[in-house]
Structure 1
């Protein structure tokens, strides 16, 4: 491509415990960036209720396409018979029936993983099937494509927030030459570079649970070995660019 590849990274909407001003203005701000792909990394609802999924569906339909959306821990029923027998039913009905969605856009191959098994409450887990999908799908992406992996739980998190199976997943990321790994969960924006891979955690886009930071989403552009992450924050005057992080990655190139 003759221009940067642009990805809008939105996460942790938590509709049902949201800031109405953020919900009302988010889609227009994302659309103004004209992304090639919009990625939403989980916790779209607060308690996985039908009314919340209905709100989520309405909001998602206003975000630019193509979209890749993955499930978070809040998108499963908390404590009910549904958690045991139909944990993903509402997600599959309202959002996406595919637990490993794939999207192809101009210059992009993207894969989403469901990192939240029903028998865990908060921490995520990835297994050998997830790792195999990363190698098969992203490792087989067309030459020159930006290879994007999306999941809710950050693979580089440590301590109580760690992702079980992270080492296996990171091995697959290396083998598949993934360029961008996108996650959420913490509500705090973060950008890290590990070798040739750039890891981006988006903040919460619309939740009231901001954990000391304003509502935000991440605008990512990649071109010729450089990834630039612009964090968009909601302030009294609307959305504005806050921190800008430039990350050099040998993997990211229109000519690879």
Structure 2
């Protein structure tokens, strides 16, 4: 992996906030827990809301604004109206107005280039898709990152998912990751935290940070620490009114 600098790099990764189906007390505690690690970048990989309603987007905006900046947020399938004319004529309007007008945000920091992609087209209800144009964007943005930068891609649907959850366009996305030497892919969607390699790229899936849809594993978010030797993925799990360190994955740096 490209060198992040002598002092290392800390990234906070949250996903599946599902405002509207959330626990209010958790919102308060997770903001404090994320701030405590002093991340260089905070990433939220989609499903900011439960049903893409105005009130839920305003709640999500309030939470996101309290997370440490700079921030990179991407669209999830729950951020698109479920069943309405709005899904057909203006599926991303509320997201653009209240979360981010840019559906493919780019963040450039010293030692880091990050790109976000929306993988929830309005005509797919739950599963994800990466278009050819989006794969080309990975190459254009991350493939052209300065030498020495950590190259990070954020999206909602995990590329490693298989079966019915397989991302359409997965093959071309994996090719783009390889040719661009992308170091990290951050994703969500499953509500179950995980970390593993997809080719030479480390994929990190964050659990649900604030929602009641915990799927038996509780609420969690993820800290990613990058230094000269390794990438350390540290799960932070809710414990009572606070948070504790859960499973930790160590991945040697790619040369």
Match of 1:113 among 98, 117, 121: 117
Q: Deviations over 1:104-124 (max 9, x none)?
A: 123110000011110000001
Q: For 2:195 and 2:236, locate their aligned partners in 1 and report how far apart those are by CA, in whole Å.
A: 14
Q: Which residue of 2 aligns with 1:174?
A: 178
> Structure 1 residue 194: deviation in Å?
3.2
Gaps of at least 5 residues in structure 2 are none
> Structure 1 residue 225: deviation in Å?
4.2
> Structure 1 residue 226: deviation in Å?
1.1
- Where relative contact order (Cα < 8 A, 6+ residues apart) is larger, the structure is 2
Q: Is the 8 A contact 2:58 2:98 kept in 1?
A: yes
Secondary structure in structure 1 of the residue aligned to 2:48: coil
Q: Is the 8 A contact 1:196 1:249 kept in 2?
A: no
Q: Which residue of 2 aligns with 1:92?
A: 96
Residue 246 of structure 2 corresponds to residue 245 of structure 1: no
> Structure 1 residue 237: deviation in Å?
4.4
> Structure 1 residue 24: deviation in Å?
1.3
Q: For 1:28 and 1:145, locate their aligned partners in 2 and report how far apart those are by CA, in whole Å.
A: 28
Q: For 2:245 and 2:225, locate their aligned partners in 1 and report how far apart those are by CA, in whole Å.
A: 14
Q: Deviations over 1:128-159 (max 9, x none)?
A: 11111000100111111110000000001001
Q: Which residue of 1 aligns with 2:221?
A: 217
Q: For 2:159 and 2:179, locate their aligned partners in 1 and report how far apart those are by CA, in whole Å.
A: 15
Q: In the comparison of the two structures, how many residue pairs are matched?
A: 251
Q: Is the 8 A contact 1:17 1:207 kept in 2?
A: yes
Q: For 1:168 and 1:189, locate their aligned partners in 2 and report how far apart those are by CA, in whole Å.
A: 25
> Structure 1 residue 249: deviation in Å?
3.4
Matches within 5 A, 1:49-68: 49-68=53-72
Q: For 1:3 and 1:214, locate their aligned partners in 2 and report how far apart those are by CA, in whole Å.
A: 32
Q: Which runs of 4+ in 1 moved over 6 A?
A: none
Q: Deviations over 1:30-82 (max 9, x none)?
A: 01100010000000000000000000110011000110000000000000000
Gaps of at least 5 residues in structure 1 are 252-256
Q: Which residue of 1 aligns with 2:48?
A: 44
Match of 2:204 among 200, 207, 216: 200
Residue 151 of structure 2 corresponds to residue 156 of structure 1: no
Q: For 1:244 and 1:19, locate their aligned partners in 2 and report how far apart those are by CA, in whole Å.
A: 25
